[in-house]
Structure 1
Amino acid sequence: MVRYISLAIIAAFVLLGAFAPEQLAETANRLFQYSISNFGWFYLISTFFFLLFSLFLAFGKYGKIKLGRDEDEPEYSTLTWFAMLFSAGMGIGLVFWGVAEPLSHYLTPPEGIAGGSPEAARVSMRYSFFHWGLHPWAIYSTVALALAYIQFRMGRAGLISSVFYPLLGDRVNGAAGTVIDTLAVIATVFGVATSLGLGALQIAGGLSHLFGLANVSSVQVSIIAVVTVLYLISATTGLDKGIKILSNTNLVLAVVLMIFVLIAGPTSFILDTFTLTLGGYLQNLVYMSLRLTPFTQGTWVGAWTLFYWAWWIAWAPFVGTFIARVSKGRTIKEFVLGVLLIPSLFSFIWFSVFGGTGLNLEMFQHIPLAKAAANDVTSALFLTLEQLPFGIWIAALATLLIITFFITSADSATFVLGMLSSNGNPNPSNKVKIVWGIFQSLIAVVLLISGGLTGLQTASIVAAVPFAVIIVGMCASILVALRQDEKRMKAQQKRRMEKLDELLDRMRTE
């Protein structure tokens, strides 16, 4: 039922986008403005709450509970686990925005700061850390932990609706569960389609830089078509082959690219930028988490922070389901700290290396990267790499990295959508994965044609509103489950102690 309802809604959207793209763009824009105006506060408060909730679970009394039976051990090594969750979590986005976001904030910073100033550069890096740091991974951590717990500890199906069993009981098997899982599927499709659209834009930008190909809609659609075939081939090979191999490849390519830029670029400047920005990020974490502009009516928060929070929330059912699937056997504390800290630290280093190099070239070598990025956001990365030794080869490596991230994200998404629409089957059929793979690519094409980058951002924010409410409900439900688990473990411990006392009494009597 979830599969058919979701496919019907998404098919209607695809048809509307194909035959009436202008009307679709206009309607989506109205919904976007409504969401930003009326739910911006909810995005900020709920996302900050997810961070606090994750830390509470990690350092509270439930931290030692395993996501699985007490005797279960992790399925994957820590390095492979990290590579898989990172590649699924935000690979394409890091490459797309690594240079472009700090340069964009440098030209048009928030908080009333003058663009192009040293203070604008400091704030641009701080907000890049903020948008790609603890908050998005707290969203993923919350959803993934709830799913892993309900699936491996309580033995229920790997569905978003299953998490609500402690609150709703058997009603999750009826209409309520269908609505929850359908919203999860729709949010996932739009969130992933946004990322695939960004990936197509960036690949087209790389081909334009390398071969002079025009970065136009027809090229972007062709890229999506070719890569769709590649990730469908990968999707049909299974989790332990396609996704695992691609994830490890992604991590190796990303680290090689990052180390090269760190060494070939302004190394001391990058390390100084990392240190300064990390301090500013930690110092201003609460302020940035709850920052809105009701008195100045500025649009910066809506265009950046709220877009990102909505994007992460839309990705949460996909990334959460995938991370849960590969995290069996880890304790809650190990899981939360691993998901929160390791990817966040990698993102901080990534932005320091690429964003710091871009800002150094802009500010001290007077290469107009920021204006170039404002005209074409996909050009920022390649124009930056062009200034380094072996620039053309490094740009080719970056393009290859984007392609492998694209394939991994789409591959993981088809796997998760197959699970969500097959009653939580941990190994959905190839037929179901292929159907979802084609539909998520069609959504990306429709969004690109109807609105380009703006259309992609709009879709994410609109699709995320209902699912943000669902994540709040998941937090309440998992707390109920953990309390029940704690009572059960205390009761078991009490019974064991009583049996031990009986045994000791018998031994004394004898």
Structure 2
Amino acid sequence: MKNVTSVFWYALVICIALVIWGTVAPTHLQSLSSQLTTFISEAFGWYYLLLIMLFLAFCIYLMFSRFGNIKLGKEDEKPDFSTPTWFAMLFSAGMGMGMVFWTTAEPISHAFNSPPRFEPGTNDAIRQSLQYSFFHWGIHAWAVYGVVALVLAYFKFRKGYPGLISATLTPIFGEKSMAGMPGKLIDTLAVFATVVGVASTLGFGSAQINGGLAYLFGTPDNFSMQLLILAVATLLFIISAWSGIGKGIKYLSNINMGLGFLLLFVLFLVGPTLYILNMFTSTLGGYITNFFDMSFRLSPLNEERRTWIDNWTIFYWAWWISWSPFVGIFIARVSRGRTVKEFLMGVLFVPAIVCFIFFAVFGVSALNIEQNGIDAISAYSLETTTFGVLQHYPLGQFMALLTIVVVAIFFITSADSATFVLGMLSTNGSINPANGVKIIWGLAMSAMAAIIVYFGGTQGLQNMLIIAALPFSVVILLMGGSFYKAANYEVEKRSRKKLTKEKIKNKELSSDKKIN
């Protein structure tokens, strides 16, 4: 295959070995990976909390620093996509189908199954359930994506480096090192995290769509049906990938944002509208007020609370880190031509606010049903939680069907985006990887997803993703340092040039005065 590098083969061999391991000994894979995941959460929980806050502080600093006006591209370049399309693509790639289900399942879990601080079902637990959902899906997550995407966009579009994770570390380690084995190992880690993460999501997503269809129409809820869903989705995202990023992902992202907001608006109108507005306002205030307390909370003296933090907050922070190569590369690709300040403002705050709105409407609608004793939503499986909520409101059938469509499109855009990113990493950072390479990665991810669904190895592979996040977190730290070094040199060089020009101009003016 043209332009394919050794990273492709390294990652492919590792992924095949992992799938074989999960197929032959799924219990062993899950047991060993769970032990490692538990150890990481307990031993490095403090590290993850401090790290994510450092990324967030770095983003805020860059927005208002002298680096804010640096363009992610050449000085005369315009953005490739309109602002609304850019926002839609950010959101579709960054959160995807998980948003549709976790917006009901997470607040319900925090309120009735496993509250972060209070007794299940109490008013305090219900009040904090939405606050912690905001916390987990808000600007902390987008700060991780923002750092990775910013650094990649800067080095690719402004400096002309290859679109590779390893290339961004050249100012620190040198070109020879990053073009050699150390750089290949870094890129292989990024490919591995992307393949396993997206394959897990595809396997999980097919189960969710199957669960929704079974709940609504009584279709079989089994592996054969999930395999059929995977096959249809694979065909669709391959067609989308073939059409290119400027068509397939762009159009699907716009369509999905429109449908997603239609679903949101309908539920807002037919649901507990006033309760949603009151809870959103109160929760937003609680989120802002308790921002630093939640951000640094570890509960070292309370084993039960610490377990909750490990299972939720630490898990989420590691999850966002592990997804950052995939989402970061994609965001970088669609953000060419924007300034650092514009980029970070958009990436940090707009998707986070959209997440808050979705959680408020869906989450409060779910809480309202359980609070009033209409149905025990907390007893539903994740696959059917949203559908269980929607059935209790007017236009429930319409909204449930629309939900399946939205999830399906998110399914396709996530896979499409991933094939593009994997294609870049496999072809030395090409921003237009060959269709053949993208299709091979798409088929590989779908095959892995099918095996995951059949053998029930999802948890083991998700654990592997969390494990991969630990070394990659160090890579992100180095990326931030590399960006600062390169951008600082650029700004200082520009300042010296400006100062030199001013001195020359002043000398010329002085000479003219003397002559006159």
- 1:450 is displaced (CA, Å) by 4.2
Partner of residue 235, structure 1? 241
Residues 1:218 and 1:49: Cα distance change in structure 2 (over 3 Å): farther
**Separation in 2 of the partners of 1:191 and 1:56?**
30
Q: How does 1:28-67 map to 2 (within 5 A)?
A: 28-67=33-72
Partner of residue 98, structure 1? 103
Structure 2 letter corresponding to 1:174: G
Q: Which runs of 5+ in 2 are unaligned?
A: 1-5
CA offset digits 1:166-218 (Å, max 9, x no partner): 11121211122111111111111122223223322221121111221343344
Alpha-carbon contact 1:307-1:457 (below 8 Å) kept? no
Alpha-carbon contact 2:30-2:459 (below 8 Å) kept? no
Q: Does residue 334 in structure 1 map to residue 310 in structure 2?
A: no
Partner of residue 396, structure 1? 401
Partner of residue 3, structure 2? none
Q: 2:313 aligns with which of 301, 305, 318?
A: 305
Q: 1:68 aligns with which of 60, 73, 96?
A: 73
Residues 1:16 and 1:456: Cα distance change in structure 2 (over 3 Å): closer
Partner of residue 472, structure 2? 467
Partner of residue 485, structure 2? 480
Q: 2:429 aligns with which of 424, 430, 446?
A: 424
Q: Does residue 184 in structure 1 map to residue 190 in structure 2?
A: yes
Alpha-carbon contact 1:136-1:309 (below 8 Å) kept? yes
**SS state at 1:99 partner:** helix
Partner of residue 12, structure 2? 7
**Separation in 2 of the partners of 1:419 and 1:264?**
44
Residues 1:220 and 1:304: Cα distance change in structure 2 (over 3 Å): farther
Alpha-carbon contact 1:447-1:455 (below 8 Å) kept? no
CA offset digits 1:244-291 (Å, max 9, x no partner): 011101100101000000011011100111101101111111111122
**Separation in 1 of the partners of 2:449 and 2:45?**
25
**SS state at 1:236 partner:** helix
> Which has the higher mean CA deviation after the structures are superposed, 287-296 or 411-420?
287-296
**SS state at 1:428 partner:** coil
Structure 1 letter corresponding to 2:451: V
- 1:452 is displaced (CA, Å) by 5.8
* Aligned residues between the structures: 507
Q: 1:348 aligns with which of 356, 359, 373?
A: 356
- 1:505 is displaced (CA, Å) by 4.3
Q: Does residue 150 in structure 1 map to residue 155 in structure 2?
A: yes
Q: Does residue 23 in structure 1 map to residue 28 in structure 2?
A: yes
Q: How does 1:311-326 map to 2 (within 5 A)?
A: 311-326=319-334
Partner of residue 366, structure 1? 374
Residues 1:30 and 1:473: Cα distance change in structure 2 (over 3 Å): same
Structure 1 letter corresponding to 2:93: A
Alpha-carbon contact 2:204-2:453 (below 8 Å) kept? no
Structure 2 letter corresponding to 1:209: Y
> Which has the higher mean CA deviation after the structures are superposed, 140-149 or 212-221?
212-221
Partner of residue 130, structure 1? 135
**Separation in 1 of the partners of 2:22 and 2:228?**
17
- 1:365 is displaced (CA, Å) by 4.7
Residues 1:463 and 1:219: Cα distance change in structure 2 (over 3 Å): farther
- 1:502 is displaced (CA, Å) by 4.5
Partner of residue 438, structure 1? 443
Alignment RMSD: 1.7
- 1:453 is displaced (CA, Å) by 5.6
Partner of residue 246, structure 1? 252
- 1:495 is displaced (CA, Å) by 2.8
Q: Does residue 272 in structure 1 map to residue 278 in structure 2?
A: yes
- 1:446 is displaced (CA, Å) by 3.5
Alpha-carbon contact 1:306-1:461 (below 8 Å) kept? no
Q: 2:145 aligns with which of 140, 151, 174?
A: 140
- 1:82 is displaced (CA, Å) by 0.4
**SS state at 1:196 partner:** helix
Alpha-carbon contact 1:21-1:450 (below 8 Å) kept? yes
- 1:439 is displaced (CA, Å) by 1.8
- 1:153 is displaced (CA, Å) by 1.4
**Separation in 1 of the partners of 2:64 and 2:197?**
31
Partner of residue 211, structure 1? 217
Alpha-carbon contact 1:92-1:198 (below 8 Å) kept? no
- 1:47 is displaced (CA, Å) by 1.2
Partner of residue 382, structure 1? 387
CA offset digits 1:474-508 (Å, max 9, x no partner): 11111111111111111221232234234434544
> Which has the higher mean CA deviation after the structures are superposed, 27-36 or 144-153?
27-36
Q: Does residue 198 in structure 1 map to residue 242 in structure 2?
A: no
**Separation in 1 of the partners of 2:302 and 2:199?**
33
Alpha-carbon contact 1:126-1:280 (below 8 Å) kept? yes
- 1:19 is displaced (CA, Å) by 2.8
> Which has the higher mean CA deviation after the structures are superposed, 37-46 or 91-100?
37-46
**Separation in 1 of the partners of 2:394 and 2:356?**
24
Q: 2:126 aligns with which of 102, 121, 125?
A: 121
TM-score in terms of structure 2 length: 0.95
**SS state at 2:200 partner:** helix
> Which has the higher mean CA deviation after the structures are superposed, 54-63 or 406-415?
54-63
CA offset digits 1:153-172 (Å, max 9, x no partner): 11111111111011112121
**Separation in 1 of the partners of 2:453 and 2:132?**
26
Provide the identity percentage: 47
**Separation in 1 of the partners of 2:445 and 2:504?**
57
> Which has the higher mean CA deviation after the structures are superposed, 347-356 or 455-464?
455-464
- 1:111 is displaced (CA, Å) by 4.0
Q: Which runs of 5+ in 1 are unaligned?
A: none
Alpha-carbon contact 1:109-1:123 (below 8 Å) kept? no
- 1:393 is displaced (CA, Å) by 1.6
CA offset digits 1:19-41 (Å, max 9, x no partner): 33232222322222222222222
- 1:225 is displaced (CA, Å) by 2.6
Alpha-carbon contact 1:109-1:124 (below 8 Å) kept? no
CA offset digits 1:440-485 (Å, max 9, x no partner): 2233333334446634542331221211111111111111111111
Residues 1:351 and 1:380: Cα distance change in structure 2 (over 3 Å): same
Q: Does residue 87 in structure 1 map to residue 92 in structure 2?
A: yes
- 1:148 is displaced (CA, Å) by 0.7
**Separation in 2 of the partners of 1:225 and 1:300?**
37
**Separation in 2 of the partners of 1:486 and 1:24?**
49
**SS state at 1:179 partner:** helix
